[in-house]
Amino acid sequence: MKYEILGDNLPVVVCRLENGEAMFNEGGSMSWMSPNMKMETTTNGGAGKALGRMFAGEKLFQNVYTAENGEGMIAFSSSFPGSIKAFEITPDNEIVLQKKAFLAGESGVELSVHLNKKLGVGFFGGEGFIMQKVSGNGIVFAEFDGHVVEYTLQENEQLVVDTGHVAAIDMSVSMDIKMVEGAKNIFFGGEGLFLTTLTGPGRVWLQTMPLSNVARVLRPYFPSSSSSSSTT
C-alpha cells in the first residue's frame, strides 16, 4: 500500500492498494474511491471487540474496503481542521491514541480499547482513562486537532500537558495527573485543577487545538436554549 497525505490543515490521505489489499475505517471518513474497491460492513472481530471499540469512542461496525481486479484507490478525510498522521504498527511498536482519533488502517492493524491503570487519570484527566490501543502489523492513520508536535522522552523524563492536548503516546509512556499547586493558580490561572503528566521512555504526540477547547471558545457566541425559546 502506498499513500499520500494532502490538504495542509484540511487533510485527506489518498491510498493506493495492490490487488487483494484491504483497509478498514469507521463509517463516515471515506471520501472517494475507485470503482473496483469492494466495501463490506462488519464487526471486524466479533461483538466483544466491537463493544470495546465503542467504549473507546468508535462505532460498533467498521467498513472493510478491498481492491479487486487490479490496483485500487481510496481516500479518507479528516472530520475537523487539523492533521492526519501515519503510524507504522508492529508487535514492538504499538501506540495509544486519544478517543476518536482513528481514521483508517491496513487490514493487519487491530483497534481495541485501552484503559489507563491509574484511576486518577480517568476521574480528573479528561479522556485519559479510556483511549484507543493500536496493535498488529501495518500502517494506521489518525486524525488530530490542529498541528501535531512530537517529543521523544528519555527514561523517567517528564512532560506536563494541559488536558486535551495529548494526541498519542507510545505504549512505553505512562500517563498520570497532577494537581495545580497554589490556591491563586487554581482559581485565577485559567488552567483548571489538574494537568496531565507524561513519563518516558517513548514518543508523545501533542495536538495544538483540541476540539473541546474550540467548543469552549465558541460557546459564548451561540444562543442559549433559554434565549432562543423566548424569541419563539
141-198 per-position pLDDT tens digit: 999 999 999 999 999 999 999 878 999 999 999 988 776 554 434 443 445 557 889 9
- CB of 101 within 8 A of CB of 34? no
Is pLDDT above 80 for 82? yes
Of 80, 75, 46, 76, residue with least CA distance to 61:
46
Residue 201: is the preceding peptide bond cis (ω within 30°)? yes
46-76 per-position pLDDT tens digit: 444 545 555 445 556 789 999 999 999 999 9
Neighbours of 60 (CB within 10 A): 14
What is residue 4's DSSP assignment? E
* HSE value, Cβ hemisphere, 13 Å, CA-based, for 202: 18
pLDDT at position 127: 47
Distance CA 10, CA 190 (A): 30
CA separation, residue 156 to residues 112, 163, 215 (Å): 27, 20, 34
pLDDT at position 118: 57
Residue 91: is the preceding peptide bond cis (ω within 30°)? no
Please state whether beta strands 22-26 and 62-67 pair in parallel, antiparallel, or not at all (unpaired): antiparallel
pLDDT: is 133 or 113 the higher one?
133
Of 131, 33, 132, 135, residue with least CA distance to 77:
33
Laid out side by side, the sheet with 12-17 consists of 2-6, 12-17, 72-77, 30-33
- CB of 188 within 8 A of CB of 130? no
- CB of 41 within 8 A of CB of 62? yes
For domain 2-218, the CATH superfamily is: Mitochondrial biogenesis AIM24 (3.60.160.10)
